[in-house]
Structure 1
Amino acid sequence: MLASWIWPVRAVRLLLGGLALLAVGTQFTHEATLPGFSPVNFFSYFTILSNIAVGLLLVALGALPGTRHPRLEWVRAAMVVYMATTGLVYAILLDTGDPGLTLPWVNTVLHRVMPAALFVDWLVIRPQRHLGYGKALAWSGVPVLYLAYSLVRGAVIGWYPYPFLQPVEVGGVAGMLVHILGIAAGIAAASLLVAWLGNVRVQSTQMRAAA
């Protein structure tokens, strides 16, 4: 059984966390040189926020020994869900083959490498305790707050971070609601799946210990 304090695992987490933060920092520096750049807009993308959060989490997990507190495991599981949301929404709704202003390698790191890395981390480093499914659904609260922020701010300033949040881009308010409800259902399903995967591994460990 691998544990979070074994040095190779900690080293990989440090590298991945640093990579996520480097990618966000590089993209910020790149866009800051462009006309009309808005720092607030930059940090209004779920992709940016989720990658900053997961970068900091991985650095903490890699740098600090004994970081397997139940609450931290709950946060780690939540970040798996958020990164899965980032990766899947990009793949299904946003990947047109043209990264736009996003640097190609940054695009790959933020939308592909980090979501996959967090999922593998969750499969390899199993949680120590059972995760309640009700609490797992609470992970949806962060994306809901993000959507509320994006819609309210977009209505005020006329700028939305993603086209599926802008009614004129998706066939009106009905089209926007379909996209939002679909994403919400996907996040809820991902939350339950991540909790189940963790609980199955916890249960198998307990059964082996009992045997």
Structure 2
Amino acid sequence: MVSSGGWFVRLARVLLGALAIVAVGRQFFVEVGLPGFSPVNFFSYFTILSNIAAGLLLVRLGVAPGLGNRVWLEWLRGGMTVYMATTGIVFALLLDDGDLGLTLPWVNTVMHRVVPVVMFLDWLLVRPRARVGYGRALSWLFVPLAYVTYALVRGAVTGWFPYPFLRPEAVGGIDGVLLHLLFMALGIAAAAVLVAWLGNVRVGERSEERVPV
């Protein structure tokens, strides 16, 4: 285990968090001048939102690791680990067909591979300072649920969906969409339990506080 207050961890968090934010910003400026560009569409991708959030969290933890309520910071840190794992795994299983479209190759690598691995290693190597109850860990599913609800409602209104598995005509109708979402929900729930378990095992009896179930 390594200390969250060590200079190497703090520097790595700041640099890697900044890398995530720079990658999103670079891609934004690639697309912003193109005909038909929609900033709402750009920021409607879970990949974009999760990388921004992960980048900001890493920078925050690197700059001031001991500041704030440690219980809720660890809950947030665990949640971001789950969200970035979702980003990486969904991309690898459903979206990595070799066609990057407008996405720069290095940006794609950072957002779909580097940051998910970084968040997982951060959770695995830097011991959490508080336990996360399994019931509370399942609350991490609220963000993906809210995102999917937004994407489906907006897609039904505008006809634009951020991902093909959310588009009924691309997956055999609404039943295909629901089947994809069911498997994703089960996968995210399993990831949430696993992330909580990995953190709690390492906190052990040394934890002074616990996020309630």
> Does 2:150 correspond to 1:149?
yes
8 Å Cα contact 1:83-1:115 kept in structure 2: yes
Structure 1, residues 59-78: CA drift from partner, whole Å, max 9, x if none? 10111141471111110000
Q: 1:204 & 1:130 partners in 2: Cα distance? A: 10
8 Å Cα contact 2:128-2:199 kept in structure 1: yes
8 Å Cα contact 1:4-1:67 kept in structure 2: no
Relative to the length of structure 2, the TM-score reads 0.94
Give 1:28's aligned residue: 28
8 Å Cα contact 1:78-1:191 kept in structure 2: yes
Q: 1:128 & 1:72 partners in 2: Cα distance? A: 9
Unaligned runs of 5+ in 1: 207-211
Structure 1, residues 66-92: CA drift from partner, whole Å, max 9, x if none? 147111111000000000000000000
Q: 1:168-207, aligned counterparts within 5 Å? A: 168-203=169-204
Relative to the length of structure 1, the TM-score reads 0.95
Aligned length: 206
1:143 alignment partner AA: P
Q: 1:42-191, aligned counterparts within 5 Å? A: 42-67=42-67, 69-191=70-192
Q: 2:128 & 2:12 partners in 1: Cα distance? A: 18
1:117/1:204 CA distance change after superposition, 3 Å? farther
2:183 alignment partner AA: G
2:42 alignment partner AA: F
1:174 alignment partner AA: D
8 Å Cα contact 2:4-2:126 kept in structure 1: yes
- Percent of aligned pairs with the same residue? 64
Deviation at 1:4, TM superposition (A): 1.1
1:116/1:204 CA distance change after superposition, 3 Å? farther
Matched residue of 2:129: which SS? coil
Q: 2:67 & 2:198 partners in 1: Cα distance? A: 20
8 Å Cα contact 1:50-1:79 kept in structure 2: yes
Q: 1:65 & 1:81 partners in 2: Cα distance? A: 20
Q: 2:65 & 2:204 partners in 1: Cα distance? A: 25
Structure 1, residues 19-60: CA drift from partner, whole Å, max 9, x if none? 000000000000112110000000000000000000000010
Structure 1, residues 98-151: CA drift from partner, whole Å, max 9, x if none? 211110000000000000000000000011222100000000000000000000
8 Å Cα contact 2:46-2:147 kept in structure 1: yes
Q: 1:29 & 1:53 partners in 2: Cα distance? A: 19
2:189 alignment partner AA: A
Structure 1, residues 145-168: CA drift from partner, whole Å, max 9, x if none? 000000000000000000000000
Tell me which stretches of 4 or more aligned residues in structure 1 moved more than 2 Å.
none
Report which stretch shifted further, 128-137 or 155-164: 128-137
Q: 1:70 & 1:204 partners in 2: Cα distance? A: 15
Superposition RMSD in Å = 1.2
Report which stretch shifted further, 67-76 or 80-89: 67-76
Q: 1:107 & 1:53 partners in 2: Cα distance? A: 17
8 Å Cα contact 2:71-2:131 kept in structure 1: no
